[in-house]
Amino acid sequence: MSYHKVLAALDRSSQGEDVFEEALNIAHTQKAELLLIFCTQRWTQMPAVPPVEAPTGTSLNPMMRMYPSMTETEVLQATEQEIKKSTAEAESWLHNYQTVAEKQGVYAQYRCIPSRGNPGELICKTAQEWNADLTVVGRTGRTGLEEAFLGSVSNHVVHHAPCSVLVVQDKN
């Protein structure tokens, strides 16, 4: 089977490097385009200020309960700043991967996708919109209750992607 468009779903773990290397190798040998994506984590989209204990029932907004010493406007501004900061860091990180790929003769582009839900769903949606032939994802090896509670991005992608999926197992 030949691939023309390879999507690599990366994260900031050491496994993300393995996923990149595998996707780059396939894109290089197949002379395929490479799309590098990163889904921002929900937890990075919160203000970088320490939360304090709030009296129950002080606000209906969960963010306001976590940061009662701040006004709603301050919480929203801090959240927006944190989102911009984490997005800029992710885009810089992805740009470095793009540069590595292009030095090896692989046309690459990247997208930083704000997480508004399940990263697995976002990966599948991006693969469909981009018409990917192959999606490369990592797998951390969660099983049992941990997988049931935390979910499995790779499991979701394997069962819902509109294309072939290569799962790179964590070496640890």
The yes-or-no verdict on residue 90 having pLDDT over 60 is yes
* Helix 153-160 / helix 119-130 crossing angle, nearest 10 deg: 40
- Distance set, CA 118 to CA 23, 58, 71, 110, 125 (Å): 22, 29, 29, 19, 11
Query: What 3-state DSSP class applies to 9?
Result: strand
Q: Which residue shows structure tokens 């395929």?
A: 32
β-strands 134-139, 108-113 pairing: unpaired
SS3 143: coil
Kindly list the domain boundaries of the chain, sorted by start residue: 1-44+85-121
Task: Please say whether the beta carbons of 8 and 58 come within 8 A.
Answer: no
What's the pLDDT band for 63 if we cut at 50, 70, 90?
low
Provide CB contacts within 8 A for 139, sequence distance 6+.
152, 154, 167, 168, 169, 170
Identify the architecture of domain 1-44+85-121 in CATH: 3-Layer(aba) Sandwich (3.40)
pLDDT value of residue 35: 98
pLDDT for 6 equals: 98
Give the tens place of pLDDT for each residue, 135-168: 999 987 655 555 444 458 888 999 999 999 999 9
User: DSSP 3-state assignment of 112?
Assistant: strand
pLDDT in tens, 19-51: 999 999 999 999 999 999 998 865 444 444 444
CA dihedral 85, 89, 90, 92 (to 10 degrees): 140
pTM of the entire predicted model: 0.77
Examine the pLDDT at 76 and tell me if it is beyond 70.
yes
